[in-house]
Chain A
Amino acid sequence: DAEITQSPRHKITETGRQVTLACHQTWNHNNMFWYRQDLGHGLRLIHYSYGVHDTNKGEVSDGYSVSRSNTEDLPLTLESAASSQTSVYFCASSEAGGSGETQYFGPGTRLLVL
């Protein structure tokens, strides 16, 4: 069955370190998204991609970067981790289309920055 996976599921790191969170989908979806979930804020969009070599900034992109070298993967990099980036991170994907396509979510990565 097609799926979307994230790794690691839990990560503890120190302030200032570079961290990369992996997202892999086997849906063959063109669109991929990264969100963060914090209490009181729901999910907020960090970065998104509509296809290979395409990346776009979302609502809360400062301190994060992504690259899309193939259809299946969209890794999220925290260039220099900060305590404010402690959060739960969700990756999602959807089919290419005009609009309104349903997004399918991965299981999430809980990141703690000490």
Chain B
Amino acid sequence: AQTVTQSQPEMSVQEAETVTLSCTYDTSENNYYLFWYKQPPSRQMILVIRQEAYKQQNATENRFSVNFQKAAKSFSLKISDSQLGDTAMYFCAFMGQGAQKLVFGQGTRLTINP
């Protein structure tokens, strides 16, 4: 079974700084999908970014980008020019090829300080 590990339970940075959240996963599949979801204090789960494993190019969405290292099974999220509104729990998630289910990591609580 696939597993997803987020080794940083909590992180804290100053506003405008860059922060990187770590995620590793375990799978024997070659094709799969990886996601980062944000959960602000409102508890709503919001998709931040999505990566297909067969694409070598790292996904980017405005200030959010990923560093996808397939061989190392690593999928980190970089937030540039962090803002107070980025304060949230961040979850890394895995979806296998042919599957529609998500497997989540334990989450990283990120606090952006003014």
Q: How far is the CB of A79 from chain B (nearest CB, A)?
A: 23
Q: Which of B35, B95, B101 contacts A48 (CB 8 A)?
A: B101
Check A42–B95 contact: CB distance below 8 A: no
Check A107–B33 contact: CB distance below 8 A: no
Check B97–A90 contact: CB distance below 8 A: no
Contacts of A101 in B (CB 8 A): 100
Check B99–A102 contact: CB distance below 8 A: no
Complex CA gap A45/B104 in Å reads 9
Contacts of A58 in B (CB 8 A): 101
Q: Total number of A-B contacts with CB less than 8 angstroms?
A: 63
Interface-lining segment among B45-53, B66-74, B77-85: B45-53
Check B45–A40 contact: CB distance below 8 A: no
Q: How far is the CB of B12 from chain A (nearest CB, A)?
A: 19
Question: Which residues B77-114 have CB closer than 8 A to chain A?
Answer: 91, 95-107
Interface-lining segment among A11-19, A70-78, A92-100: A92-100
Q: How far is the CB of A25 from chain B (nearest CB, A)?
A: 14
Complex CA gap A43/B101 in Å reads 11
Asked if A44 is at the interface (CB within 8 A of a chain B CB), the reply is yes
Question: Which residues B6-56 have CB closer than 8 A to chain A?
Answer: 6, 33, 35, 37, 42-47, 50, 52
Check A100–B52 contact: CB distance below 8 A: yes
Question: Which residues A21-76 have CB closer than 8 A to chain B?
Answer: 31, 33, 35, 40-45, 48, 50, 58
Known: A33-B102, A100-B97, A105-B46. 17 other contacts (CB 8 A): A31-B100, A42-B4, A42-B6, A42-B107, A43-B45, A43-B104, A45-B101, A48-B100, A58-B101, A88-B43, A98-B98, A99-B98, A100-B33, A103-B47, A103-B102, A105-B37, A105-B44
The 3 nearest A-B residue pairs measured at CB: A105-B45, A42-B104, A100-B33
